[in-house]
Structure 1
Amino acid sequence: MRCCGAGGAVSRTRTTRARNMRLFPKIGQSICADDEEAMLTLIEDTSAGPHGLLVPPCDPTMYRLRGAGCAHASCHDNFHRALARKGIRLGRTPSSICLFQNIIVDEAGAVAIGVNTSKAGDRLTFRIDRDLVLVISACPNDVFKRPPLQPTDLEITIDTAEAG
C-alpha cells in the first residue's frame, strides 16, 4: 500500500517511523507524507501484527538481479500503472506500507521477512486524514521460494460516511 496526496505529497515510511518512534504505527498514530503531515491514522488492528515499513517495493531491478528478468510484474510497476489510469505521473516511487507482513529485526540488526502471523478475519482500520489516492498492490513476488510468502485474499472496504 502506498499513498499520494494533494500537491504531489507521497507516503514516506522513514518520516512515519521517525514521527512515531516505532517501526509501524500503533493505534492513534499516523502514516505520514513527505511533507510531514498525516495521511492515514491507524484506528483499529485486530491482527497479531506485526506490519512492516522497512522493505522497499519489488521492482524490475530487483527481479533482474535475482535472475527473473526485467519483464516480471512488480509492486513498483503496479503502483505507477494504477496512478497512470488516474492521469497521475510521479518521478519517484514511495516506500511500501506492508500490512500483515512480519518484518523481523534481529539483535544484530539484520532484517528478514518472517512467517506471516495474521489469520482470516484480521483487519486494520485507518482514518483518511487528507485527500489522497491509495494504491494497494498484492505483491507479485513469486521468485523467492520460501515459507513466509503466503499470499491470501485481501478484502478492502472504503467507508465514505462523513463524520458528524
Structure 2
Amino acid sequence: MQVVPARRGRAVRLARGQAIRIVNTHGSQVVDTWAFNADDPSEFMSMEHLHASLGSVFPKTGDALYTNRRRPILTLEEDTSPGRHDTVIAACDVHRYRSLGCTEYHDNCTDNLHAALAMIGFPRTETPSPLNLWMNIPVGPDGQITWGEPLSKPGDHVLLRAMIDCVVVMSTCPQDMIPINGANCLPVEVHYEVTG
C-alpha cells in the first residue's frame, strides 16, 4: 500500500481497466479526489455533470462518474463505508482559509492538486470541483447544508475503476478549523493501491 501523507496530495496514472483502492486508514479523513483524461487535461471528472447523469448528489456503488464531456471516466465499484461522499463543496484554497481567519499560509487541496500533478509531469489544469470522499455534508429539505463529521470507520475503502486512461489525484484535506475530518479536526494520512 502507498501513502498519501496528512495534508498532502498524490497523483496516480491508471490505464483503462485498472482500479485504485483508497483506504480511509483512520476512518475520519476526507480525501478530495479528481480524475483527468490522461491524453487531454481539459477533460475531467465533473461534479456538475455527475449530478445530471445520476440525478443525485450522492454517488453509490455501481455508479459511473462522468466527465465534463458527459462520458464515464471512473466507476465506483466498491464502497465499504456508509456511502456518504460530497459532490457539492469546492476544494479548499488559500481564499477559503483567509475567510476562516487565517493570516498565514494554510495547506489546501487546490495547491495539493497542482503539486501532485507536477510531481508526475502532468500539465497544469484548472481546479475542478472534486469528489470529496467521506466528506459528510448533509443537505436539508430547504437546501441548507451542514458541516458534518465523516460517517466512515477505520479501514473503510472505495474502489474506483478507470473507464479510460486517466490520472487520479487524491488530497488528504488539510481542513483543521471545522470538523469535516472528525471532531478533533486533525488531518491524517490515508493509503491506496492500484489493482489490475
TM-score (normalizing by structure 2): 0.75
1:23-34 map, 5 Å: 23-34=57-68
1:41-56 map, 5 Å: 41-56=75-90
Q: CA deviation at 1:59?
A: 0.5
The alignment covers a number of residue pairs equal to 160
Which is strand-richer, 1 or 2?
Answer: 2
Q: CA deviation at 1:73?
A: 1.0
The residue aligned with 2:27 is none
The residue aligned with 2:129 is 95
Q: Decide which moves more: 122-131 or 53-62.
A: 122-131
Q: 1:111 aligns to what SS in structure 2?
A: coil
Which sections of structure 1, spanning at least 5 residues, go unmatched? Answer: none
Q: Distance in 2 between matches of 1:151 and 1:11?
A: 25
Deviations 1:87-136 (A, max 9, x none): 23334101111111112001211112212111112221121111111110
Q: 1:127 aligns to what SS in structure 2?
A: strand
Q: 1:148 to 1:90 in 2, by over 3 A?
A: same
Q: 1:4 aligns to what SS in structure 2?
A: strand
1:74-153 map, 5 Å: 74-144=108-178, 147=183, 149=185, 151-153=187-189
Q: 2:49 aligns to what SS in structure 1?
A: helix
The residue aligned with 1:71 is 105
**Aligned structure 1 segments of 4 or more residues deviating by more than 3 angstroms:** 148-153
Q: CA deviation at 1:155?
A: 2.0
Q: Decide which moves more: 52-61 or 122-131.
A: 122-131
Q: Distance in 2 between matches of 1:30 and 1:84?
A: 27
Of structures 1 and 2, the one with the larger relative CO (CA 8 A, separation 6+) is 2
Aligned-residue Cα RMSD (Å) equals 1.9
Residues 1:7 and 2:43 are matched in the alignment: no
Q: Decide which moves more: 121-130 or 62-71.
A: 62-71
Q: Distance in 2 between matches of 1:28 and 1:12?
A: 17
Q: Decide which moves more: 65-74 or 17-26.
A: 65-74
TM-score (normalizing by structure 1): 0.88
